[in-house]
Amino acid sequence: MYQFRQVEHLRRFLDSERAAGRSIGFVPTMGALHAGHLALIEHSEMENGCTVCSIFVNPTQFNDPADLEKYPRTEGTDLYLLYGANCRVTFLPEVEGIYPPENLAGPDFQFGALDKVMEGAFRPGHFAGVAQVVRRLLDIVEPDALYMGQKDYQQFCIIRSMIDQLGLPVRLVMVPTVRGNDGLALSSRNVRLSPEGKIRATAIFRALNFIRDRKSEYPPGRLEAMAREQLEQAGLRPEYVKITDPKTLQPLERFDETESAIVCVAAWLEGVRLIDNLLL
Ligand code: AMP
């Protein structure tokens, strides 16, 4: 496994990989790796000669300084997991490598209605930060393919829009959400839940399934309210439960408005903010 912290060193190495005919697959992460991240790595390895995994806790996407501070950092274990997953290249840049003083002002993207709802509404500035860091990382790695999880569905839509706006020659691949046996979506933030909290948190996946199973019986608004109630009963504090058009992320009033739908949830538990979604 090749490990880089310097942008220029990584760039030079990847030039030699391309010259050797290896396609580059890229998996950006914020570390505290789990089986969800490793699924992205495996997907990239199936499709590319060289998989690059970056670990960078991006300060510009945290709207809450306490969340940034509390974000788990487990570099030693992360590298061990990546080694076990046969990841070819790791990239662990310093903040100055990603945001050099001379390169601070990134382009402004127009996401239209995509970043006004759900995560965009509750975490002001979050997606501007995500787009900024992914733009910068793509500029450095210049991958053939970029792998992102369905777990962060709205983030995926934002990055797809950014790639379109810039006309970047990169293939964006969505990898399904990896869950524990109890249905809880794996997340770096789960380590901050108590054992009891981890059990309570499974109410999220149950509420998502409840909506999927009842969508022929009730309109979206009613199902959202029922799911919120279930989450509250389980001791969670839902921030939103939204049934939306998977392309535009705009709320649906009726299921027959679109071909498909997605339900997205954010809820607080024990001071931890959890998100999940399910295509309906
Ligand atoms: P993060 O480290 O949280 O920024 O996530 C890095 C990438 O891993 C993002 O593309 C996430 O969507 C993806 N990811 C996180 N958790 C999961 C999961 N449980 N299943 C699949 N992908 C995930």
**Residue linked to tokens 């054992």:** 195
- Measured in angstroms, how far is the CA atom of residue 256 from the centroid of ligand 1? 31
Question: Looking at residue 208, what is its pLDDT?
Answer: 98
- Measured in angstroms, how far is the CA atom of residue 32 from the centroid of ligand 1? 10
pTM metric for this prediction:
0.96
Ligand 1 closest atom vs CA 30: 2
**Ligand 1, residues 152, 178, 275: which to mutate, most atoms within 8 A of Cβ?**
152
Q: 19 Cβ partners below 8 Å, 6+ apart?
A: none
Per-residue pLDDT of the chain (280 residues), as tens digits, is 999 999 999 999 999 999 999 999 999 999 999 999 999 999 999 999 999 999 999 999 998 888 899 899 999 999 999 999 999 999 999 999 999 877 666 668 999 999 999 999 999 999 999 999 999 999 999 999 999 999 999 999 999 999 999 999 999 999 999 999 999 999 999 999 999 999 999 999 999 999 999 999 999 999 999 999 999 999 999 999 999 999 999 999 999 999 999 999 999 999 999 999 999 9
Beta carbons of 200 and 269 less than 8 angstroms apart: yes
- Measured in angstroms, how far is the CA atom of residue 39 from the centroid of ligand 1? 9
Beta carbons of 232 and 200 less than 8 angstroms apart: no
Long-range (24+ apart) CB contacts under 8 A made by 57-62 are 57/30, 57/31, 58/30, 58/98, 58/129, 58/130, 58/133, 59/95, 59/129, 60/99, 60/125, 60/128, 60/129, 60/132, 60/133, 61/125, 61/126, 61/127, 61/129, 61/130, 61/132, 61/133, 62/126, 62/129
